[in-house]
Amino acid sequence: MTKKELSQPVYSTKVEGIDIPVPMRDGVRLAVDVYRPDAEGRFPALLAFAVHNKFLQSPQVAEACTDQPAWAPLWCGPAEGGDTTFFTSRGYVHVVGNLRGSGHSDPGDPWIEGKMDTYDLIEWIAEQPWCDGNVGMIGISDYGRRQLEAAMTQPPHLKAIFPYDPSNFTFRETAPGGVIHTMWFHLLKFSSDNPKEIKLTPREEALWKEAFHNPDYRMYTAIFNILERRGKLATRFFRLLIDPHEPESVEELEEQLKKVDQVPTEWVKLDCKLQ
């Protein structure tokens, strides 16, 4: 294959299922949408997994919005899980899922209770009759972060990742210079958080009370609203607001990130041998 020879569409798209409940090791169910080539056989699968509403990744939304630039009012920022029609037409299953605590997935905290969810989801995909056992991950921003988290847990059937521009892990990356920026508010338009009780630790409870009475936060109603919801809205950003510091476990996290080197990061060629 030369650079001028591009893969060509071969298959039409079949919707295998919408909001398929996938059980995790603790019984929590994640909601996933599965699109596949409309043909018999098993195919490699590409997983896009994030907190953004998976409906916004669907072909119907892509067809309705077309390619809108970032400054346009119709721009769909979190539609970053990949082009379903492109992948399925070239012999890939496209699986799009929501983290626990978002969308139609069961409630829960994906960053504490759901640390192994991506591992479990990948292994579930590999066992399905439409998958040939090869699973890759795709997507940018939050979708990219999930790829790095998956690589740290080393799922046996994870064959490749493409973590382009993944969202941040550490405070110094999230808030350069220690300044909390408000880009998150823009992305909240696409939030799919579902109502859930977030249990604050005694330390977090004290931090929340301090943040709630901080006049620099209270003057901005959007920030004040997130604090009032006590983690039920924008959980990750809520934790950043109440504790804008590097976590004590940051060195341990950086060691875990080194495990990513043990997973192939050279992307699966999209001109795979189609069946």
Cα maximum dimension of the chain: 62
The pTM of this model reads 0.76
Tell me how many degrees the CA angle 208-214-220 measures, rounded to the nearest 5: 105
User: Which of left, alpha, beta for 247 (phi over 0: left; psi -120 to 50: alpha)?
Assistant: beta
User: Which of left, alpha, beta for 208 (phi over 0: left; psi -120 to 50: alpha)?
Assistant: alpha
Task: Write down the domain spans for the chain.
Answer: 13-169+254-262, 171-246
The answer to whether 65 and 112 have CB atoms below 8 angstroms apart is no
pLDDT by residue, tens only, the chain of 275 residues: 456 677 899 999 999 999 999 999 999 999 999 999 999 999 999 999 998 888 888 888 777 776 666 566 666 666 788 889 999 999 999 999 999 988 899 988 887 788 899 999 999 999 999 999 999 999 988 888 899 889 988 999 999 998 877 666 666 666 677 777 666 666 665 566 666 677 888 999 999 999 999 998 888 877 888 888 888 777 778 888 898 877 776 677 667 666 676 555 444 443 333 33
Instruction: Specify the CATH superfamily of domain 13-169+254-262.
Output: Alpha/Beta hydrolase fold, catalytic domain (3.40.50.1820)
